[in-house]
A and B are shown apart, each in its own frame.
Chain A
Amino acid sequence: MQVRKAAGSLGAFVEGVSLEAAGRSDALFAEVKAALLEHQVLFFRDQKMSPADYQRFARRFGPIEGHPAYNVVPDAPDVQILESTPEHPSKIELWHTDMTFRPHPAAITLLHGQVIPPFGGDTLWASASAAYEALSEPVRKLVDGLYAVHDFRHGFRESLAEPGGAERLAPAIAANPPVRHPVVRTHPETGKRAIYVNRLFTTHIEGLGRAESEAILEMLYRHVVQDEFTVRLSWQPLTVAIWDNCCTQHKPVNDYLSMHRKMHRVTIAGERPV
């Protein structure tokens, strides 16, 4: 297994490994997991495997965390289907960390490219831990110890505004009341600190006026996604990306919405952020 860094702050291409095989091998899996903790997001090309194989591999990372808004593959129920078509284009546009509206947000996300448009639809990731380390001392003093509120309704506001959207998502809303997480999160395995607020799900910082909170959040959002903290992946069919939600944010590049794109996703349960 060869690991080649894809950018300065995070991201690596992993070659010479079959994830289908890693799903059946403790040793191989341990190598993949160690590389993930080091590089925060891993890219694997040409991973031909069935949803069942993919599910077997993904389960090694930990218990599965289902998503309230997505369909799943019938014979591999842990595998969610993320599909964008010209009729129903994806609405996720903003930089975010997955499922921070949950008390225990997903620790790890895996995507397996199924239908990939001939061009466009890249994904960017940003290292929220590299960004935290680059914050100036006065800003770190301000944000260490603050808590922010994250809300499913905020992230899915566009879907909710669609005809029938509120009815369709009502159970998800009922099951996902707003939650509070620390603005700076300590990684459960590496101990590294990372900025843990995102434009998609974070509504405000507690203990501050709305406008004050917006100013501080804006400062943090802009800081995290500076180009120096990012890496960019161009997908191919059968590309797999695995990322660590405890210390990254990501953003889709929506330049493909006139085309069909389909991904298989698995999200791994995480701990309560501290």
Chain B
Amino acid sequence: MGVTIPWQPMPGPFGAELAGVDARALDPAALVQASAERQLLVMRGQRFTPGTLQDFAATLGTLDVYPYAEPFPDYPHVVPVIKNPEDKANFGGAWHSDTAYLERPPGLTLLYAVEIPEAGGDTLFADMCGAYEALSPLLRAWLDTLSGHNVSGMVHDTSGAHASVVGEGTRLRVAAASAADHPIVRVHPVTGRPALYVSRIHTEHFNGMTREESLPMIAFLQDFSVRPERCVRLSWQPGTLAIWDNRSVQHNPMNDYHGERREMHRVILQGERPVGRQRQP
């Protein structure tokens, strides 16, 4: 057993913060365990280059490749996420769990702040386990039986309904459209907690239902999940590193800093195929 990490709970229903400690000095296994239990970890005052960020991320899991943006040429797992002063759209600017349209969506995401606007550019996180628990038993039992059809096309297609969320400053690359069916309620492989796994920008419909039938429920679940009582708000500083668990949280970067520049470096780690509470159709 390693030394207990002195995490400070964040203001809100989940998340933990650590200051004055080099993330690389921590036991990677303890970090992975903490990210599962606390859902969001925030470490202030880190000093990473794209190369050292990639190396550090590799100690926490298997590095994944993001299909829809260009990474650094020398660091194929590190994607610069940039909004320039002249840009209006921001990358990933809507509530979502990362790349839910892949067969095996990433488990953990690492996001490291390089340049931050004077004010604004926070990221909101929502507790998808808490959202599931807050539903009525009747609705939970029904959702347990459903799977969602998640597609990249509503975001990563210029004609997609939510195309504005891909951002402008981030160098996008063209990749084939992706789609995957995942349980609407997924069980966390470490904690065993069920979490809602559905979003307005990725979930096109519930399998076995039409999109028209699905939309009111998708909209409800999205809005219900991100009510303020389930959210944590992270204000970034240069050198802030966040690690979040895509199995149990959604996030939404605030686009409230037009005219300023924001640069973040992102790494995603491989996850497993989401597992539901029971067999889906």
Contacts and interface: CB of A to CB of B under 8 A. Distances in A.
Contact of A138 (B209, B216, B223): B209
A50 interface: no
Interface centre among B142, B208, B219 (most CB of A within 10 A): B142
Contact of B209 (A139, A218, A222): A139
Nearest to B223: A211
Given A136-B208, A138-B145, A211-B224, A219 B136 contact: no
Contacts of B3: none
Contact of A139 (B135, B213, B219, B221): B213
A208 interface: yes
Nearest to A137: B208
A218 B136 CA distance: 18
A214 interface: yes
Given A207-B136, A211-B224, A141 B142 contact: yes
A172 interface: no
Contacts of B4: none
Interface in A125-147: 135-139, 141-142
Contact of A142 (B142, B224, B281): B142
B198 interface: no
A173 interface: no
B212 interface: yes
A212 B139 contact: yes
A211 B216 CA distance: 11
A135 B210 CA distance: 9
B220 A211 contact: yes
Contacts of A163: none
Interface residues of A, number: 20
A208 B136 contact: yes
A219 B208 CA distance: 15
A209 B136 contact: yes
Contacts of A137: 208, 281
Contacts of B135: 209, 212
A81 interface: no
A142 B213 CA distance: 12
B206 interface: yes
B138 interface: yes
B281 A219 contact: no
A14 interface: no
B253 to A, nearest CB: 25
Contact of B136 (A139, A212, A214, A223): A212
B21 interface: no
B138 A208 contact: yes
Given A137-B208, A138-B145, A208-B136, A219 B213 contact: yes
Contacts of B213: 135-136, 139, 219, 223
Which 3 interchain pairs have the tightest Cβ spacing? A215-B220, A136-B209, A219-B216
Given A137-B208, A138-B145, 15 more contacts: A138-B142, A138-B208, A138-B209, A138-B281, A141-B142, A209-B136, A211-B220, A211-B223, A211-B224, A212-B136, A212-B139, A215-B217, A216-B216, A216-B217, A223-B213
